Structure formats: C-alpha cells, structure tokens
Chains A and B, each alone.
Chain A
Amino acid sequence: MAQLVETAKELLKSGKVSYIIGYTAHGDNGTKPFIARTEADAEKLVFNHHCVNNLSVYINKADIPENGNIGIIAKGCDIRTITMLVQENQIKREHIYIIGVNCNGQVKDIGMNWEKENVAQKCALCEVRTPALYDVLVGDLEDFEKPEPTTMQLIQQIEAMTPKERWAYWQEQFDKCIKCYACRQACPLCYCDQCIVDKNEPQWIETSPTSRGNLSWNIIRALHQSGRCVGCGECSRVCPMGIPIGILNVKMNMISMRDFGFKPGMNINESTLVGSYNFTEKENFIR
C-alpha cells in the first residue's frame, strides 16, 4: 500500500508526528500492532483485511511527547473510539493525527484467511467504511461479501429467553471467566488509572474468579461501557475463554439508540450520552 507508506514517511519527515501507530505484517497471514518512528520503519507499515486490532487502545497508554503528536492508522470503527476519547477529554484532538483508511472488511481474528465466514461481525452492519473523522484519508473502497449477522441473531435468541433462562445463560458464560482482564486491557475506552476491580480499600469487587466475582466484574465492565462502546469487538476477540461479552455492549447500544437516538463516536461535535442531558430525553424508568 504505497499511498499509506508515502503518507507516513512524509508525516515523520516533516515532524508533524513523532511516531505512527500502525500495523505491520506478522506470521504467514496476519499483522500486528507496530510503532513507526523513522522513515525506514514506515516502509514496514501495511493495511489489509488482517488489520484486526483497534489501535486507539495505545493512545491512552502511550506517553504523548510534549512537542509532538501521535500519528495513528485507523479504520472507521477505530476512529469512533478516538472520537469518544476526545469527547471524554482523554486526549486533545490536535495531538492526534489520524490517517484514516477506507476499510474493505476485516477478518475476525489475527491470522485468519480472508473468506466470507471469517469476516468480523462488526463489518456486517458497518456504516463507517469511510471514516467520519480523519486528517488524511488513504485507500479505495471495494465491495466485499458481508457476513451473516450472527451477533444480532444471538442477541435475538437471548432476548427471546425467559429471565431465568437468560440468567442461566450468562451464569454459564461468566463461570468460564479467568479474570485475565484481556477484555479490559484491549478496550480503548477502559482507561481508568485504577480500575475498580483493583481497588482494595475498600474491596468493592471480589478479585476471585468465582461465579459471584466473575458476575460482578463482567456486569460492571458492561455497564461502564453503556452508551460509550462503539462495538469494535476487541473484548470478545481477545477473550481466551470465548465469552461473548461484547454483545452486552451491542445490546446496550441498541437501547441507547432506541431511547436517546444516540450512537457513540459518530460525531465529534456532539455531546456524549452519559456526559449530557436534555429535557426531551425519555425517563421511562421514573413512573
């Protein structure tokens, strides 16, 4: 992808950014996150169907150099999280140089072949193949076959359950949790300096990966994301136990859309759902 490499080289050369967070080829059939600090590094940047990671997770983890900005290669869905980070005052828009890419679909996980059944679920209903926000846009849109929306089907299945069945379903799922916190660490919007599960004076949440401790963690994680999660799916992807935790957020976003007409990360000039209030908002819970 010559256009991407050239853009990156130019940005590093001109000093507009001090480094660029991007993807580089890794293994037979994949990519991994990569930091390009020099023009020679920039030669190693790639963008294709295997750029699964939401790199905006690194924005909060990186030390932003005082006299320089961070460059980031980002898909439309990842840019929605950058938008959220700006709206939630975690970064200054002018400190981030966004190299937006026209995205032609991504595989579910690193190293998978580009085939219809391996296309990530978030691509099924994607509205931001051309990002809503960027400083420079690279790549061209090409058609690709959308996957079956199995996530939505699973949500419908769970919605059709009785509360008792639903409880049993999630108990079984959460019992698998080993509390590795990969979901938290991979999430760009889980940025608390000290996560509530790491607070021990007082200990709000049991640290043990027992049924009770796991339920506390997973529900709190999901609730802290409502109206904020952009559905990048990284939490579900990195879960070693295959727990579909991301669908809790998808469901809550369906509710925030239904009740407040709000979709996170779509418009940088809009206020966030949890950070704002207006008189037309429904208050169905007070009756």
Chain B
Amino acid sequence: MNEYIITSTNINQLAGELLNEGYNVVAEAEDGTAFIAVAAGSNVILNPFGKPTNLSPKQYIFPKTETLFYYKKSQTDVEIIDPTGLGHKTVIFGTKPCDSAANKILAKVFNWDYKDEFFNKRVENTVVIGLKCGYRDAQCFCTSVGLSPESGEGSDVFLTPLENGDYLAQTITEKGAKFVEEHKKMFDAISADKNKPVPMPEAPAKKFDAAKVKVWLDSNFENEFWDGLGDLCLGCAQCAYVCPTCHCFDIVDENFDYTSGRRVKNWDCCQFTMFTKHASGHNPRSVQSDRFRQRVNHKFKYYPDRFDMILCTGCGRCSRGCGVGMDISEIVQAIDNLK
C-alpha cells in the first residue's frame, strides 16, 4: 500500500483529465439522491460526513436496466447483435465503505456457477475511489455485519479527509496502484509535516450478533416471529433497489417492431407480489410476511450458507428510505434478542 496526498483542486483536475481520457466519471449528485455522471467542468462532490445517497452506486456495476443483446428476425434466420459500450472505463469517486464493500459480495453470486460477463466486465473496468465515513445515524449498522466506517475494503484507492481540506490517498489494490501511477502528477508525496486526519466520530455500536442470528435462522423458517411481520410493509421495491447488495433481476424481451427487439435484464425485487407468482396463479409466498422473511433469510442465512458472506453492508438505506418505517436492523436485532 502506498500513501499520497491529493488536494481538492487536484481531485477536480483529475476528474477533468479522466473525462478527457474517455472515462465515465461518477460521484454524488448535489441533491444527494444518487451517484451521477460528473459533467466536464463541474466539481467532484466528496461527502464524508453526509448521509449516504438515497440510491447506492450499485447501478454502475449492475445497472437498473441492461441490454443483453439485440435481435433481428428474417424469414429464415435470427441475427444476434451484441450491445456496445459494455464495460466502459469508469471511475467512481467518494463511495463510503458500506458501498465499496458491496462489489466483492456481489461478485460471489455473479460468479457462482455462471460467470456473468456483464458484471465482471464492469467491475474490471471500474476504479473505486472510496472515502472514509464520518456519518452516523440510527439506521447505520456497518459494524454489525463485520464492516467499519474506516475500512478500505472494496476500494481501489481509499481517501481520508485531512484537516487542511486535502485527502490522504491510500492505494488498496493493484488496480488502484496502477491508476495512481498513471495519474501521478495529481498525487503529491506525503511530506513529514503531513496534515492530521479529521477526527471521526465513534463507529456505530453493534446492534446484533450476525452469527447468533444465523443460528436462529437455521432452524426457524417456521416461527411465530414471522407472523404479521410484513403486515405493514407496502410491498414496493425501495429497499431492494436502493440496496448496494440486492441483485435479483428479471429478463424480458422487448420488441421494437415485428422483426427486431432486444433482450433486457432489469432489477427485480422479492417484495413484489408478482416476484414468485406462478403461471398457475399459485404464489408460494402468498403474504407480505412470507416475502419479508425471504428478505431477512436471504441476507443473513442463505447468502452466508452459500458464500460465507452476509448479503448486507449495514448502510441503512433500506430503513432510511422506507415510507412506513420498516427497519431491517431492528428486525434482526429483535431476532438476536429472542433468546
């Protein structure tokens, strides 16, 4: 790991240079709703003490909608045309540790039996410039899922805000080191009188013991705890779509006309009634509580079973954004408190 200093001015300069080099440059939007493309000449927003954006930056690795291929039918043949622009070189600035950590978790499922080239290409071509996090609220629980607001896990380059307004830049991966090497003139060497890091608030207190929760989940698929849990859930997909780790998708064909169209992969969500509805009309998850049980189990049991990782980074977005105050950390905490 190498350490450098990068000034705010140089971060903006770097963004400009990257745009000239043909990169997509992505950072927080001014209104805090999402990560968006940085336009030429505008500044990169780094927000170490601000609330996480409503939508996680997941969409740059796993877009909300993605064309798998285009098709053209003739009387005797079908022509398949690959989409263009896949895996365009991208740099994401300012992802908090709870976002940066998500890509490694997602990589497990996207490389399980089938290697998803769309996902892998995007990851391969994306440089994550992570940022130390100084934001705390009642919904934060990164420490309960084994992460930390000061962790560089998942970042290629990790930034720590310094008291003079500059940032300490640490290279975490080889990709990060190579990226810094290629843009060396934007990074200054660390000097002896290097500035102090801005003090960070204490990490969020641990809300639950995920290992203990998993033991309970292992043998309590049927339990009165689940009854009525989803009574007040409205069954929208806010929680899944803002989540950095939720990864369900739906594949549909969209016809442009009688002879051509595209096959497309769109985000989908286990909280929708339609998600598990069979063609016969039967729905194995017939009530919202069944669907909410799935959400908890997928994150805290099935994924750990399959990949030895919790499918949650504790960013708290799902709870912060829930219109009816459903809070997954409270629910998992309640499970932890059951015995």
Contact = CB atoms under 8 A, between A and B. Distances in A.
Interface of A: 26-28, 30-35, 53, 57-58, 61, 110, 176, 178-182, 184-186, 198, 203, 206-210, 213, 234, 237-238, 240-242
A178 B274 CA distance: 17
Contact of A241 (B54, B138, B267, B325): B54
Contacts of A181: 236-237, 272
29 contacts: A26-B325, A27-B325, A32-B325, A35-B232, A53-B324, A58-B232, A110-B325, A178-B237, A178-B241, A179-B267, A180-B236, A180-B269, A181-B236, A182-B237, A182-B323, A185-B235, A198-B274, A206-B254, A207-B252, A207-B266, A209-B64, A209-B65, A210-B65, A213-B65, A237-B323, A238-B236, A240-B55, A240-B242, A242-B31
Contact of B321 (A28, A213, A240): A240
B interface: dominant SS? loop
Please classify how large the interface on chain B is, using the bins under 10, 10 to 19, 20 to 34, 35 or more.
Answer: 20 to 34
Interface string B259-273: 000001011010010
B227 to A, nearest CB: 12
A110 to B, nearest CB: 6
B266 A209 contact: yes
Interface in B73-107: none
A179 B64 CA distance: 9
Nearest to B272: A181
A158 to B, nearest CB: 18
B33 A234 contact: no
Contacts of A57: 234
Contacts of A30: 325
A28 B137 CA distance: 10
B51 to A, nearest CB: 12
A33 B327 CA distance: 12
A61 B289 CA distance: 13
> What are the nearest 7 A-B pairs in CB distance?
A32-B325, A238-B323, A185-B236, A185-B234, A180-B237, A182-B236, A240-B54
A182 B234 contact: yes
Contact of B236 (A58, A184, A209): A184
A241 B55 contact: yes
A219 to B, nearest CB: 18
B238 interface: yes
Contact of B65 (A31, A33, A208): A208
Contact of A240 (B33, B138, B272): B33
Nearest to B324: A33
A211 to B, nearest CB: 10
B161 to A, nearest CB: 26
Contacts of B241: 178-180, 240
B250 interface: yes
Given A28-B138, A198-B274, A242-B31, A207 B324 contact: no
Given A207-B252, A209-B64, A234 B54 contact: no
A141 to B, nearest CB: 27
A34 B325 CA distance: 10
Contacts of B324: 32-33, 53, 186
Contacts of B254: 206, 208
Contact of B267 (A33, A178, A182): A178
Interface string B41-65: 0000000000000110000000011
Given A176-B33, A180-B237, A234 B55 contact: no
A206 B253 CA distance: 10
A241 B274 contact: no
Contacts of B234: 57, 61, 182, 185-186
Nearest to A210: B65
B34 interface: yes
Contacts of A242: 31, 33, 54
Nearest to A31: B325
A135 to B, nearest CB: 23
Interface string B279-313: 00000000000000000000000000000000000
A185 B237 CA distance: 9
A186 B55 contact: no
A241 B317 CA distance: 13
B238 A182 contact: yes
Given A31-B325, A209-B65, 19 more contacts: A28-B138, A34-B232, A53-B323, A178-B267, A179-B241, A179-B266, A180-B242, A182-B237, A186-B324, A207-B266, A208-B252, A238-B321, A240-B54, A240-B238, A240-B321, A241-B33, A241-B54, A242-B33, A242-B54
A259 to B, nearest CB: 32
Nearest to A187: B234
A178 B269 CA distance: 12
A184 B234 CA distance: 9
Nearest to B287: A63
B166 to A, nearest CB: 31
B181 interface: no
B117 interface: no
A58 B138 CA distance: 26
A178 B325 contact: no
Contacts of A241: 33-34, 54-55
